[in-house]
Structure 1
């Protein structure tokens, strides 16, 4: 049984995400060099991206329990804010790379299209969850500390 993360942090899923991006950039570099082994790195990138999504979901569950306990609200908001930015950047990069490889379908671009589009759709799940958690955390922070009107 895998132990639940004790703190709500981006680093809980960040390592697997970083390894995924290293494999993806390696395959991208190999395809630019016109080496035919670039497609070997894409499945490894996909596996590590899925592992990172799993770790995000686990950390999201912990953040929801901390949110209900009203502990570390700023940390929960910061986690969701950073996660939203990270996954939004990943989605944009994957979509741009898939669009860039459309003209190169015959030279192996179909591998990138078949990788980037589903992975971008999968990254929408934590992006939407982060956005919802960020808005919920923001609303609860505002309820606890109302703004003082100076007029």
Structure 2
């Protein structure tokens, strides 16, 4: 698969993010079944989450070096808007999971606490970068819009 350097899309990092979430949800399923293998799925989830963060930052670097940014303003804004939503949801989900497992530290909750807090902090990086990108590539309001 050849890499298209000027392609700006959330699909550049979404596959790795989806694989990360599959490992994360499978670890929940294994912990509900009371199988101790749930702790083995968490490092794979973290690995794929960090890889998706790397791919997001690569796409962000590509956006910064595009020669025709004004022509693709809508596409760039959509990329940052969607990325902000995705990573903000993952940030809050990981934070709530970490808080939910605090009472269950003796039953394997410390694995989720040690996984979710650093990964939530890592998800703040693309959220902040996306928020700044949304502000930078803000869309102008069209005066031809009508209120319904």
2:17–2:52 Cα contact (<8 Å) kept: yes
Q: Do residues 17 (structure 1) and 21 (structure 2) align?
A: no
User: What TM-score comes out, normalization by structure 2 length?
Assistant: 0.90
Give RMSD over aligned pairs.
2.1
Shift of 1:66: 2.9
How many residue pairs align between the two structures?
A: 145
Measure, in 2, the Cα distance between the counterparts of 1:87 and 1:67: 27
5+ long unaligned stretches in structure 2: none
1:95–1:120 Cα contact (<8 Å) kept: yes
1:2-151 superposed matches below 5 A: 3=3, 5-66=5-66, 69-138=69-138, 141-142=139-140, 147=143
Measure, in 2, the Cα distance between the counterparts of 1:20 and 1:5: 24
Measure, in 2, the Cα distance between the counterparts of 1:67 and 1:28: 45
1:66–1:72 Cα contact (<8 Å) kept: no
Shift of 1:32: 1.1
Shift of 1:70: 2.0
2:6–2:66 Cα contact (<8 Å) kept: no
Measure, in 2, the Cα distance between the counterparts of 1:68 and 1:114: 43
Bigger helix share: 1
5+ long unaligned stretches in structure 1: none
